[in-house]
């Protein structure tokens, strides 16, 4: 029985109090099926088991075939290298931005510039970036031929470089806004202003003081989002296809290639590759954790050393943070602007900085369909996000009131959809949906999205929720409020910003889902993303521009709400805006 | 509750499928088709193609009362995945995919796994107009017999296109291509195999360079594979350093070639749709100076098809739609370069005079080729060659540091 059903009966709150302990179990029950099925659908074929394709025996042959594939080592190294580099760089950039500029006017500007970037779909940002940096791209066009002397684009390798540098930088540009938003949501609970002020008063430089006094508290709260960035950067497919190398590609892309190969026997190898990818991600998370401990030790020694930060280093670090933030914002914005210009472009070739002619043809042709697609996208995204937030808050509140650590510990299972490669994971998931008859409609798609939205909502909200100062609870209870009243009147309002942020992130994740929508919806449910990805396969930048802008617009509203609403609602509560 | 509803639906679906349409009684097929909704899973990457599919859907709705929903895919494999998942879940009736745009390896795989419904194609009324003798590709898809499991709806042939303003004298044979690339390094590209266009380039080069092209029609195991392919690898060893980005990065597909040509990065490219350059010019995607041509010895051609999965829900509706797609009216519209420009599968001498006149009245795109210019297409090699070539190419050039 659900919470809602109980609440309708007399004495609801009391009963709800009793139902709450079951929230983690309920969440697990809802999610475990899809996750287990997804995992089984990956593990089975990896060892030769897939009766639908004639695999009836368990064997190591599939794994052997995978390890015999000559590109495997390089593909795996690329995944790992890009993952670590993108995560470390974006985390460092965010730390420097917040450390060096928080409380300044430049920081406000950067925050406003970076937050909306989160709503830009990864693939759209990558397309935009690819157009910026290509030898025939916007930057080269703007400088040619007057500065470069190029009448023709030079044959230079920029995007798709074999080492994955372009891919890494593209990911960094997209992950900085995500981590920054997570950090800002976390700051409120870290009493950071106090720590920073004290450090300044003791003569520490702005950056050094913040890194020593505030960062350790903040990092504890954004650890899960950082893990998500690591897992995502290692297993990303769409961005890697656009900006990444292809000889060989990162393992995740190779898995998708095998999955899409007309030779159905390669689907077994795809599953084996997916399993290896999963193992790599888990191993990388372990290594990162060890790194945390090591950096923590070193950091403690550094903090205890009492160095106040040399002014020259301070300035350099602040400038580096500013440059990273500006570059990330500029790259994504200029890329998006490039796509916007393409969406109204007539013929446009090198070295013209702007198209020959502007035309609304593409918008006129595809605009009318966009309304219905956007409505469907919004409906599914809102439903999946609200469900995910209800489950998450119920779980966290149950943990808070009842100290349900054991059940809580099992909740790491929720993160599996996030670290398992989606394309292989979906095979088993889809089979389960078919077996229970939940497929081919909007409801099925909402459940499918929930599986991928919930982990993000959970990891966005969990740490700020847990970091909430329990003394508010004690104070409110002492004033006579019951646990429900504390939740509704004190905790949720105080956590408004993290809640809205989690909702915005969840909504954006839902908007971005392509394969779950297509496969679980059986083609019955069309969103702006299914349309965008299908059209993008034709490579026409005009169509890509139209749909990328539509996708970004769909995800933008919740992000604006997450940034603006707390300011509006708490305009007279400075400490609640973001601590 | 959901389970009960779904069980009920499953019962209904299996009851409907028990009277699976008999293609020999086409009137009964059309009667059953009325009121059905056909979910047609088809690549959705081209606005021109999407518009044509929408038009065909409207026609079939008007004539036969069949509603067509175009499920736009980025890749045909996604529809294949769906059918496999349904088979894995035991959903042998009431599947989500009613019709797939398919050919080549995907067809061979689905046929081999028993994932297709049929045979039904040769009972369709418009099959009578199909050019079975003149276009062997309509019954042998990459040499695999179609056995009435897929209906042909378009012809494709490999063509090259060049920007006449920048490359006035393009190469018309593989050896000439090698010289041209050496003189214009970085200005030619083909998509990375196993993309089908990239693989087709390999097959085309192999056809021209191998000592005895006839061996390509049989599986590669039946011949001396190494001897047959040695000239191809020599050719590619020489060509690759002069390719776009010296072969260190590769365009993923044919669509990217158009973009690279428009950006001025390359001057010579290839396509599997003879009319694609004209279409792209009309959409401002290519400069007006682009022209298409075929190699002197002819180029590889094949047909593309539509097929019905074994567990499709609306088989009758899918058959009615497929038959319409083979009709002279639909084929003439498809061949119109202002609409799509995809070659017809029909035999002109089998058509009634009025329909033939409709084809003769079609305009020709600015960069398009007449049937005479296209010439006889070369047959696709046995699919086994493609698999081997893709593997060996990847080992040699696809993992280059």
Q: What strands lie across the sheet with B99-102, from one edge to the other?
A: B67-73, B37-43, B99-102, B301-307, B150-157
CA distance to partner chain B, nearest, from residue A299 (Å): 38
Residue A2 has pLDDT above 50, yes or no: no
A539: nearest CB among B104, B249, B259: B259
A54 touches chain B (CB under 8 A): yes
Give the pLDDT of residue B158.
95
Nearest chain B residue (CA) to A357? B284
Residue A32 has pLDDT above 80, yes or no: no
Across the interface, whether the CB atoms of B6 and A437 are under 8 A apart is answered yes
- Segment 347-376 of chain A within 8 Å of chain B by CB: 347-351, 359, 365-366
Q: For residues B240 and B381, state if they share a domain.
A: yes
Give the pLDDT of residue B1.
42
Q: For residues B344 and B215, state if they share a domain.
A: no
B306: left (phi over 0), alpha (psi -120 to 50) or beta: beta
User: How many Cβ atoms from other residues are within 10 Å of residue A359's Cβ?
Assistant: 16
Place of tokens 């059918």: B83
Q: For residues B6 and B129, state if they share a domain.
A: yes
Candidate ranges A151-165, A433-447, B168-182; pick with highest mean pLDDT: B168-182
Q: Which two tokens stand for residue A571?
A: 């305009």
Smallest CA-to-CA distance from A566 within A498, A475, A487 is with: A498
Give the pLDDT of residue B14.
41
Q: For residues B28 and B67, state if they share a domain.
A: yes
From chain A, the residues in CB contact with B89 under 8 A are 431-432, 434-435
Q: Which two tokens stand for residue A290?
A: 């060890």
- Segment 500-539 of chain A within 8 Å of chain B by CB: 514-515, 518-519, 522-524, 526, 530-531, 533-539
User: How many Cβ atoms from other residues are within 10 Å of residue A155's Cβ?
Assistant: 15
Q: For residues B312 and B297, state if they share a domain.
A: no
Residues of chain B with pLDDT under 50: 1-19
Pairwise CA distance, residues A111 & A118, whole Å: 11
Q: Phi and psi dihedrals of A49, rounded to 5?
A: -100, 110
DSSP 8-state code for residue B59:
H
Range of the domain at B168: 159-301+377-398
Tell how strand B290-293 and strand B159-163 pair up.
Answer: antiparallel
User: How many Cβ atoms from other residues are within 10 Å of residue B372's Cβ?
Assistant: 6
Q: Domain segments of chain A: what residues?
A: 60-377+514-578
- Segment 105-124 of chain A within 8 Å of chain B by CB: none
Query: Positive or negative, the Cα torsion across B251, B254, B256, B260?
Result: positive
Contact present, B281 and B157 (Cβ < 8 Å): no
What is the pLDDT confidence band of residue A135, given thresholds at 50, 70 and 90?
very high
Q: For residues B278 and B186, state if they share a domain.
A: yes
DSSP per-residue letters across B153-206: EEEEE-EEEEETTT-SS---SHHHHHHHHHHSTT-B--PPTTSHHHHHHHHHHH
Q: For residues B203 and B127, state if they share a domain.
A: no
Q: For residues B354 and B278, state if they share a domain.
A: no
Across the interface, whether the CB atoms of B82 and A523 are under 8 A apart is answered yes
Q: For residues B119 and B208, state if they share a domain.
A: no
Give the pLDDT of residue B89.
86
Across the interface, whether the CB atoms of B255 and A539 are under 8 A apart is answered yes
CA distance to partner chain B, nearest, from residue A522 (Å): 5
Tell how strand B37-43 and strand B99-102 pair up.
Answer: parallel
Give the pLDDT of residue A17.
53
Give CA torsion, residues B170, B175, B180, B182, to 10 deg: 170
Interface test with A, best of B57, B82, B88 (most A CBs within 10 A): B88
How many domains, in total, are found in chain B? 2
Residue A3 has pLDDT above 50, yes or no: no
From chain A, the residues in CB contact with B102 under 8 A are none
Across the interface, whether the CB atoms of B255 and A349 are under 8 A apart is answered no
Average of per-residue pLDDT across A119-136: 89
pTM for this model (two decimals): 0.87
Q: Among the listed ranges A21-25, A299-303, A346-350, A460-464, which one has the minimum average pLDDT value?
A: A21-25
Between A52 and A325, where is the model more confident? A325
> Using one digit for the tens of pLDDT, what is the confidence trace for A534-545?
888 777 889 889
CATH ID of A60-377+514-578, from 1.10.3720.10, 1.10.1040.10, 2.60.40.1250, 2.160.10.10: 1.10.3720.10
The CATH number for B386's domain is 3.40.190.10
Q: Phi and psi dihedrals of B43, rounded to 5?
A: -50, 135
B258: nearest CB among A157, A245, A539: A539
Interface test with B, best of A37, A258, A262 (most B CBs within 10 A): A262
Between B300 and A50, where is the model more confident? B300
What is the pLDDT confidence band of residue A427, given thresholds at 50, 70 and 90?
confident
Q: For residues B218 and B312, state if they share a domain.
A: no
Q: For residues B241 and B389, state if they share a domain.
A: yes
Give bridge partners of residue B269 from the DSSP assignment: B161
Nearest chain A residue (CA) to B398? A247
Pairwise CA distance, residues A307 & A311, whole Å: 11
CA distance to partner chain A, nearest, from residue B398 (Å): 5
Q: For residues B10 and B139, state if they share a domain.
A: yes
What is the pLDDT confidence band of residue A18, given thresholds at 50, 70 and 90?
low
Give the pLDDT of residue B11.
42
Average of per-residue pLDDT across A403-426: 71
């Amino acid at each position: 029985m659900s919470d809602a059903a109980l609440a309708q009966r007399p004495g609801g709150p009391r009963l709800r109090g009793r139902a709450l302990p079951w929230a983690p179990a309920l969440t697990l029950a809802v999610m475990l099926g899809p996750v287990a099925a997804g995992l089984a659908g990956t593990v089975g074929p990896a060892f030769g088991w897939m009766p639908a394709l004639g695999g009836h025996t368990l064997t190591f042959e599939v794994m052997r075939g995978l390890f015999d594939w000559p590109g495997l080592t390089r593909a795996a190294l690329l995944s790992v290298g890009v993952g670590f580099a993108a995560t470390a760089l974006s985390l460092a950039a965010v730390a420097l931005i917040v450390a060096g500029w928080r409380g300044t006017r430049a920081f406000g500007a950067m925050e406003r510039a970076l937050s909306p970037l989160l709503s830009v779909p990864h693939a759209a940002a990558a397309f935009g970036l690819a157009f910026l940096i290509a030898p025939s791209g916007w930057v080269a066009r703007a400088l040619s031929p007057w500065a470069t002397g190029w009448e023709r684009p030079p044959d230079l390798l920029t995007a798709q470089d074999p080492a994955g540098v372009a891919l890494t930088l593209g990911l960094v540009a997209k992950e900085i806004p995500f981590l920054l938003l997570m950090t800002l949501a976390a700051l409120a609970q870290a009493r950071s202003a106090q720590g920073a002020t004290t450090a300044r008063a003791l003569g520490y430089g702005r950056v050094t003081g913040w890194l020593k006094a505030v960062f350790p508290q903040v990092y504890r709260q954004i650890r899960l989002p950082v893990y998500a960035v690591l897992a995502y950067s290692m297993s990303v497919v769409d961005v890697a296809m656009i900006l990444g190398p292809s000889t060989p590609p990162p393992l995740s892309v190779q898995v998708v290639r095998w999955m899409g190969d007309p030779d159905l026997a390669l689907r077994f190898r795809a599953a084996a590759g997916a399993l290896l990818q999963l193992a790599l991600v888990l191993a990388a998370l372990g290594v990162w954790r060890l790194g945390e401990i090591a950096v923590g030790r070193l950091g403690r020694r550094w903090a205890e050393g009492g160095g106040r930060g040399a002014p020259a280093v301070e300035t350099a670090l602040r400038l580096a943070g500013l440059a990273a933030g500006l570059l990330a914002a500029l790259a994504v914005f200029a890329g998006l602007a490039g796509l916007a210009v393409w969406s109204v472009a007539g013929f446009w070739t090198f070295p013209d900085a702007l198209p020959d002619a502007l035309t609304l043809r593409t918008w006129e042709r595809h605009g009318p369909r966009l309304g219905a697609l956007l409505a469907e996208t919004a409906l599914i995204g809102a439903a999946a996000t609200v469900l995910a937030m209800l489950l998450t808050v119920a779980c966290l509140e149950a943990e808070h009131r009842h100290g349900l650590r054991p059940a809580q510990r099992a909740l790491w299972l929720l993160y599996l959809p996030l670290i398992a490669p989606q394309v292989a994971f979906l095979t088993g998931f889809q089979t389960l949906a078919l077996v229970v008859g939940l497929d081919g409609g909007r409801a099925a798609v909402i459940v499918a999205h929930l599986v991928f939205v919930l982990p993000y909502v959970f990891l966005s909200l969990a740490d700020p929720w847990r970091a909430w100062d329990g003394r508010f609870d004690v104070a409110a209870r002492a004033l006579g409020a019951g646990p429900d009243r504390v939740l509704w009147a004190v905790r949720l309002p105080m956590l408004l910003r993290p809640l809205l942020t989690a909702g915005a992130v969840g909504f954006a994740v839902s908007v971005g889902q392509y394969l779950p929508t297509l496969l679980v919806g059986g083609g019955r449910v069309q969103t702006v993303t299914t349309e965008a990805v299908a059209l993008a396969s034709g490579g026409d930048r005009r169509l890509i521009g139209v749909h990328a802008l539509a996708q970004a617009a769909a995800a933008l509203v919740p992000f604006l709400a997450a940034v603006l609403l707390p300011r509006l609602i708490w305009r007279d509560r400075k400490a609640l805006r973001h601590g | 509750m959901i389970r009960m509803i779904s069980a009920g639906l499953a019962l209904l679906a299996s009851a409907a499928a028990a009277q699976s349409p008999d293609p020999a009684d086409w009137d009964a097929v059309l009667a059953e088709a009325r009121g059905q909704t056909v979910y047609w899973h088809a690549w959705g990457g081209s606005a021109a193609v999407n518009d044509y599919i929408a038009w065909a859907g409207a026609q079939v709705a008007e004539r036969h009362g069949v509603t067509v929903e175009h499920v736009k895919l980025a890749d045909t494999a996604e529809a294949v995945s769906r059918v496999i998942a349904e088979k894995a879940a035991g959903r042998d009736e009431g599947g989500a995919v009613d019709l797939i745009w398919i050919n080549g390896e995907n067809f061979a795989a689905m046929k081999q796994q028993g994932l297709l419904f049929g045979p039904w194609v040769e009972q369709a009324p418009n099959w009578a107009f199909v050019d079975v003798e003149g276009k062997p590709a309509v019954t042998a898809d990459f040499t695999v017999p179609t056995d009435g499991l897929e209906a042909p709806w378009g012809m494709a042939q490999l063509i090259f296109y060049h920007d006449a303003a920048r490359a006035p004298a393009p190469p018309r044979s593989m050896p000439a291509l090698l010289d041209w690339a050496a003189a214009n390094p970085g200005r030619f590209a083909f998509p990375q195999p196993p993309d089908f266009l990239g693989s087709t380039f390999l097959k085309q080069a192999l056809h021209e360079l191998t000592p005895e092209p006839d061996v390509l029609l049989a599986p590669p195991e039946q011949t001396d594979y190494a001897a047959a392919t040695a000239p191809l690898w020599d050719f590619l060893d020489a060509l690759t350093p002069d390719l776009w980005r010296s072969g260190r990065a590769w365009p993923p597909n044919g669509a990217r070639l158009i973009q690279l040509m428009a950006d001025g990065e390359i001057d010579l490219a290839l396509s599997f749709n003879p009319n694609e350059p004209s279409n792209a010019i009309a959409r401002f995607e290519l400069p007006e100076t682009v022209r298409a041509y075929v190699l002197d010895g002819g180029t590889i051609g094949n047909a593309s098809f539509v097929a019905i999965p074994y567990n499709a829900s609306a088989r009758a509706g899918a058959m009615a739609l497929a038959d319409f797609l083979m009709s002279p009216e639909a084929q003439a519209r498809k061949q119109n370069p202002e609409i799509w420009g995809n070659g017809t599968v029909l035999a002109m001498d089998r058509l009634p005079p009025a329909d033939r006149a409709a084809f003769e009245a079609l305009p020709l795109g600015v960069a398009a080729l007449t049937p005479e210019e296209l010439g006889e297409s070369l047959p696709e090699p046995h699919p086994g060659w493609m698999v081997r070539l893709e593997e060996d190419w990847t080992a040699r050039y696809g993992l280059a540091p």
